[in-house]
Structure 1
Amino acid sequence: MAKLEKTLKAQEGLALAQDSAPGKGEQASAAQSPSNQVVDWLASLQWCLENQDIDQFVDLFADDGYWRDILTIELDFNSLSKSSIKSYLSHHQLSLPPLKNLALDRPDQLVITPEGRIRSFIQFETDIYRGTGVVILTDSRVTSTHSKAFLFFSQIWEVKGHEEKLGFRRPLGVPTGTHAEGRPLTWLETRNQSAERYKNGVDPTVLILGGGQNGLSVAARLKVLGIESLIVEKSKRLGDCWRTRYDSLCLHDPVWADHLAYMPYPPTWPVYTPKDKLADWFEFYAASMELDVWLQSTLVPSAAEYDPDTGRWTVDVQLGEEGTIQLRPRYLVLATGLNGAPQWPTNIANLDAYSGTVLHSSQFQSAKEWHGKRAVVVGACNSAHDIAAELVHNGAAEVTMVQRSSTFVMSSQHGIPALLDGLYEEGGMATEDADRIFTGLPINMLESMHTKIQEKIAELDRPLLRSLENVGFKLDPYPAGMLIKYFRRGGGYYIDVGCSELIASKKIKLKQGKEVSRLTEHGLVFSDGEGISADVIVFATGYRSVRERIGKLLSEQVAERLGAVWGKDNQGEIPGTWRLFGQPGLWLMGGNFFQARCFSKHLATQILLQELNIYDKNWPGRSQTKVYSKE
């Protein structure tokens, strides 16, 4: 972020904060330039904040406008429509945040959107932190009225005096510490000792369970803030969570949206990352970011206890063959994914009668051994399609997909560019800029925007979708599209990369709308009485609740205190992840690569504020001690 003082100086003379309430003094004329409209709007906003005038504040928004805020109103995530701002603040006894020195951030990035609105990055500060955001305003040159906010996004970016150790603040890298021989420790000696010290009575501030993209991202964020963390990963190698999946697996999101924090992929990186390449990158990332990791390590189930008096957890970690080590971290971050244990159908009779192989999709690794064999895949979302296609490509004699309900289908060819172009694309804007814009959009607003986009995608995909319907595949017409379905449900869709054509051409057979009733010695029978022979049955039937897994991992008492996880709260925000959700000292870090990169920063910031003892008290603009995910 550009230094606030430089930006303010560059804008000096453009506008001054108004001396009277907005609407009572001179206002922007229809001929004002876009930058002056933003400056004037920020000046009006500044007046409202300084005078705590909520009515005038609300009047700065368009009728369909939103205030998306991360951590400045209260230490939570909020998406407030114009009509709900005043009632929410009043109900929760919250005041407007004391933001000051509101200014354009990098005015050269101000643009007119395709909808004819003005979009600008902004920055601000308080006595405690510096913040960044985005405003999207109506253009008075078009509307002939004063600019109103379609979107005002505000977020904490850095805490003063505790900035990330980047750029000019980067470490020197010279030898530090003292060896037993009296000489300085080398960098390698320091690194080798770093994770080992936790075996010798030193407790990490943060214990992170899971070394996937979410665990690595939050560990990196904490690292550059100077907060010690330790990753506990059950696998033999970092990246095995991807390395051990089915052979053909690639990420379904393109490279431009999938960078990890601080370390973008090189320009030679493929558009869709193969799982083994990604797994190797995880190892490289952890080494480069100097993250402390214990491999082949797990938390002893149901042995975690939280002491509210000391603010520490007591946990037992099974460290491979080295035995059990007790740690007392202040915070636990669960980064083992948003899924629980594999979901197996519970209403299928005679499971023991089957003589073939039964796998869950999480266990399926290679289709090579099923060359010339008959396979049935139960399920019809991403994993099911990928596995069915891999079986066909590896010469399975017969592949049948069992689609029990409906599936949302979108082609990668048309859908991904329509959803991401303008933000995440080759030659596009900097990832940090795209992240700020996308993070700032409330999901309820995105739902409306994507409903229009999805109409265009569906029209482009019409030949594909018709070909599927022609063979009996049942489509879910979810109006808001794939991304919103992911935000709301976490699944239920397929991004087509070729399997749909295999279904349409009947190279993959389809059984639609019927449940598996029972297994026989050589196959399975459906609820309509039809039977299919199979050498292998793969259940791509999803996963159980993450709350259930938390109960088994920590305790049922902890799980009972937790709020909702994933889906939507009454503001349309995703509950549970990256924010308070019922248990002090416990955080859930989950989601795709974009969410791992963006929200790991907000989670780490919340931990930093707790460490500075300003999280639960003396917080400007906040009158409650704790606010958990809203029901």
Structure 2
Amino acid sequence: MPRLTARVPVTSLHGNIPLTLPFKGEESVEANAVAVQVLAQLDACLVRGDWQSDDFQNLWVDGEDAWFKDHLALTGSVRTIRRSSSIKKAFQTLVPARRAANFGPDAAFQVGGPARFERLNPAVAWIDAPFVFDTRDPAAKCGGYLKLIRTQSGEEEAKWKIWVWFSALLELKCSPWGHPARSSPLPGVQQGNAASRGLPPSTVGGESAPLDLLVVGAGTAGLSALTCARALGLIAIAVDKDAQVGHLWKSRYKALHLHTTKAFNALPFAPFPARYPDFVSAEQFGTYLQNDVVSALKLPVYSGILYDNGKWDDARKFWVISLVDVDTGERGQLCAKNIVMANGPLLPEPRIPTVAAREQFRGETVHSSEFTDAKPWAGKRCLVVGTGASGHDISSALHHAGASSVHLVQRGPNFIFPIAAQEAIIGQIYNEKIPIEMSDLMWSAMPLGVTRTITAAVLGAGTQQIAPTLFQDLEAKGFRVEREKDFTHFAHERHGGHYQGHDFDLLTSGKVKVHSAPAGISHFDSDALVFQDGTSLQADLVVWATGFTRKGSVPEWLVEKGLIDAEAAKDVEAIGHGVDEEGEWPGRWTGSGHPALWFTGAEIQAARYGGKLIALQIAMEKNSELPTAYPRADVAAYTNGVNGSH
């Protein structure tokens, strides 16, 4: 039975931000001087290790609002710990265990340079203070950010205290970062070919040592993990059943574009060349993966190779893996010390409604994931069921291709915002001036509950400033706008139901019409879709832009597909079922439950950063420097997606 760390709704996460009202002298705050002073006091406390005095506790804001977030540097995992008392307990254990020292300002611009004062709105402000430190177990350079809040009680002098601590492992001394375009020490490996053919050379028997890792899947998640592993000097290859890297992106509908800029979506060590537009199309992104990632970085990717199964050899501590050449049916074997699953275990299956009398419908139906081209539907009547990102994009493509009518069918309200409001957040962190590795650290620094609070405030204010009548204009055309729930709910719990657009003119002008169907669909007629309220819409094409659904748990999925043996899967975390009480995703990137099985996936930015975390852990393990993760006591049994017992 797979395990399940207890999960909670994103909306239940603590997201309070201590108030910092405008104060006298705010314009002249010497943020760097404040940061240097706090870091000096912190370093003295940590080196002295006097946990019984109040010196350490007095550096933090009181009680519930203090945060310690860490990515591998101290906890050996991905953790977010709240409350000053819990933070003190963690530091008391972890600082001596990691032999952490030399806490100081980021003078060498490794994570962000000088400290700066930031005001979010009239009630919220903080000092953002980049810092660095060393650990000796493992031997590493680490860094991060302190978020300092100004506190004052009565007539006492105001003090700056730590509100959020974020730290991350930056570089291992045993395995420093290099360039991934290095030669493979494995004889016969082909590199840099996005459409390579043939099985990789066997590492079973003979004098060949097992791979350090095999990456299963060569999409954005798999390529990110492979790139980072090779940059750390690990022996790694990737296999993918598709005939060519980027095939999935190039096979999507022509109008599909990324809804975030290329600065947000580049892969490790592979910035987008200037010839790409800010908002890259799916086809362009597929070309980027082929030419500017696999080829440019000389990555050893084997396309057209199916990962058939893996069996864990507990005595020899490696996987025995069976592969199949999709074209020829030829079989081969590999041995690898680690498997990184980047082949979709985190991705759910298409959700297609079961609608009565489908066989009577003379038109065509297709799920959005299979929709490729709008041009054949010129002059036809088209319905798009679902009003998330795919629904909006496909309805726009159908209109511009000359469909005689396009209706967007909406069941429930959607969270809507202009892309310009989103870029007010993302663009400050991800841009051509900041290295993407530094941007990823900045993006990761805040606890999820706090991020939710900030995002709601910034998106709301940005939408009001950029498009003050957008919601009213949409509602006037029958489109229902979600005004209560926030973006984090849709992104992390529903995994859809929101849409960020460059403009909404097709809806507000009535060129794409909205059909509200809160009660749902009843049945098909020969040339129409009939709704529960008795209304109907004639159609030649129905596109199900209805999202995806996940069946069962990831461990069960792996065993059912025959990808790993049941014994290896029995303790694997039931990943993909939401966040834990810390706002983290258990089992993704760290602590899967099997010491040599790793999972990665999700949106491009998260997959990029997650690949780095996985590679660092495998490099530490190879060099016998992987620390024991800071323990937690809330792991429960998993039964059918809920907490239960074996």
TM-score (norm 2): 0.81
Query: 2-side partners of 1:628 and 1:133: how far apart?
Result: 32
Query: 1-side partners of 2:187 and 2:587: how far apart?
Result: 43
| 1:343 paired to 2:351 | yes
Query: 1-side partners of 2:81 and 2:397: how far apart?
Result: 45
CA deviation map 1:347-396 (0-9, x unaligned): x2222232221111110000011111111111110011111110111011
Query: 2-side partners of 1:587 and 1:176: how far apart?
Result: 23
Query: 2-side partners of 1:437 and 1:353: how far apart?
Result: 54
**1:220: Cα distance to partner?**
0.3
CA deviation map 1:581-606 (0-9, x unaligned): 33332211112222222222111111
CA deviation map 1:305-340 (0-9, x unaligned): 333333322332221233222223222212134322
- Equivalent residue in structure 2 for 1:35, among 9, 32, 35: 32
CA deviation map 1:191-211 (0-9, x unaligned): 999974248865432121221
What's the secondary structure of 1:599's corresponding residue?
Answer: helix
**Which is further off, 309-318 or 529-538?**
309-318
Alignment map for 1:551-590 (pairs within 5 Å): 551-553=559-561, 554=563, 557=566, 558=569, 561-565=572-576, 567-590=578-601
Query: 1-side partners of 2:481 and 2:542: how far apart?
Result: 23
Residue of structure 2 equivalent to 1:49:
46
**1:299: Cα distance to partner?**
2.3
**1:624: Cα distance to partner?**
8.2
Confirm or deny: 8 A CA contact 1:73 1:95 kept in the other structure. no
Confirm or deny: 8 A CA contact 2:81 2:87 kept in the other structure. no
Query: 2-side partners of 1:100 and 1:471: how far apart?
Result: 61
CA deviation map 1:258-286 (0-9, x unaligned): 22111211234311011111111101211
Query: 1-side partners of 2:92 and 2:42: how far apart?
Result: 22
**Which is further off, 42-51 or 80-89?**
80-89
Alignment map for 1:374-413 (pairs within 5 Å): 374-413=381-420
Confirm or deny: 8 A CA contact 1:199 1:325 kept in the other structure. no
Alignment map for 1:475-494 (pairs within 5 Å): 475-481=481-487, 485-494=490-499
Query: 1-side partners of 2:192 and 2:478: how far apart?
Result: 61
Query: 2-side partners of 1:135 and 1:245: how far apart?
Result: 42
Query: 2-side partners of 1:629 and 1:91: how far apart?
Result: 30
Confirm or deny: 8 A CA contact 2:192 2:296 kept in the other structure. no
What's the secondary structure of 2:215's corresponding residue?
Answer: strand
**Which is further off, 316-325 or 149-158?**
316-325
| 1:353 paired to 2:357 | no
CA deviation map 1:438-479 (0-9, x unaligned): 111211111121222132034233322111111221212255
Structure 1 residues 109 and 37: alpha-carbon distance in aligned structure 2, compared to 1, 3 A threshold: closer
Aligned partner of 1:53: which letter?
W
Residue of structure 1 equivalent to 2:440:
435
Confirm or deny: 8 A CA contact 1:316 1:327 kept in the other structure. yes
Fraction of identical pairs, as percent: 24
Aligned partner of 1:339: which letter?
L
Alignment map for 1:115-514 (pairs within 5 Å): 116-127=125-136, 128=138, 129-138=140-149, 144-166=157-179, 196-198=200-202, 203-284=210-291, 285-300=293-308, 303-322=309-328, 323-337=330-344, 338-346=346-354, 348-413=355-420, 415-425=421-431, 428-460=433-465, 461-481=467-487, 485-498=490-503, 500-512=504-516, 513-514=518-519
Aligned partner of 1:105: which letter?
D
Confirm or deny: 8 A CA contact 2:253 2:373 kept in the other structure. yes
Residue of structure 1 equivalent to 2:16:
none
CA deviation map 1:505-553 (0-9, x unaligned): 2222222213122223223221122222211111111122173644433
**1:555: Cα distance to partner?**
5.5
Query: 1-side partners of 2:275 and 2:479: how far apart?
Result: 38
Q: Which runs of 5+ in 1 are unaligned?
A: 1-30, 180-184
Confirm or deny: 8 A CA contact 1:238 1:283 kept in the other structure. yes
Aligned partner of 1:574: which letter?
W
Confirm or deny: 8 A CA contact 1:94 1:623 kept in the other structure. no
Confirm or deny: 8 A CA contact 1:448 1:480 kept in the other structure. no
Query: 1-side partners of 2:375 and 2:191: how far apart?
Result: 45
Tell me the number of residue pairs that the alignment of Structure 1 and Structure 2 aligns.
581
Aligned partner of 2:146: which letter?
V
Confirm or deny: 8 A CA contact 2:257 2:279 kept in the other structure. yes
Aligned partner of 2:410: which letter?
Q
Residue of structure 2 equivalent to 1:16:
none
**1:424: Cα distance to partner?**
2.2
Confirm or deny: 8 A CA contact 1:398 1:508 kept in the other structure. yes
Residue of structure 2 equivalent to 1:102:
103
**Which is further off, 459-468 or 211-220?**
459-468
Confirm or deny: 8 A CA contact 1:523 1:534 kept in the other structure. yes
What's the secondary structure of 2:451's corresponding residue?
Answer: helix
Confirm or deny: 8 A CA contact 1:569 1:629 kept in the other structure. no
Residue of structure 2 equivalent to 1:65:
66
- Equivalent residue in structure 2 for 1:531, among 522, 531, 536: 536
Structure 1 residues 565 and 91: alpha-carbon distance in aligned structure 2, compared to 1, 3 A threshold: farther
Residue of structure 2 equivalent to 1:10:
none
**1:223: Cα distance to partner?**
0.4
**What do you get for the CA RMSD once the two structures are aligned?**
3.6
Aligned partner of 2:449: which letter?
N
What's the secondary structure of 1:421's corresponding residue?
Answer: helix
Query: 1-side partners of 2:287 and 2:631: how far apart?
Result: 47
Aligned partner of 1:47: which letter?
A
Confirm or deny: 8 A CA contact 1:46 1:99 kept in the other structure. no
TM-score (norm 1): 0.83
**1:570: Cα distance to partner?**
0.2
Structure 1 residues 47 and 90: alpha-carbon distance in aligned structure 2, compared to 1, 3 A threshold: closer
Aligned partner of 2:37: which letter?
D
Q: Which runs of 5+ in 2 are unaligned?
A: 1-27
Confirm or deny: 8 A CA contact 2:57 2:88 kept in the other structure. no
Confirm or deny: 8 A CA contact 1:454 1:479 kept in the other structure. no
**1:408: Cα distance to partner?**
0.7
Residue of structure 1 equivalent to 2:622:
611
What's the secondary structure of 1:114's corresponding residue?
Answer: strand
Confirm or deny: 8 A CA contact 2:74 2:94 kept in the other structure. no
Query: 2-side partners of 1:380 and 1:206: how far apart?
Result: 40
Residue of structure 2 equivalent to 1:22:
none
Structure 1 residues 277 and 192: alpha-carbon distance in aligned structure 2, compared to 1, 3 A threshold: closer
Confirm or deny: 8 A CA contact 1:139 1:147 kept in the other structure. yes
Structure 1 residues 389 and 70: alpha-carbon distance in aligned structure 2, compared to 1, 3 A threshold: same
What's the secondary structure of 1:365's corresponding residue?
Answer: coil
Query: 1-side partners of 2:233 and 2:484: how far apart?
Result: 44
**1:146: Cα distance to partner?**
3.2
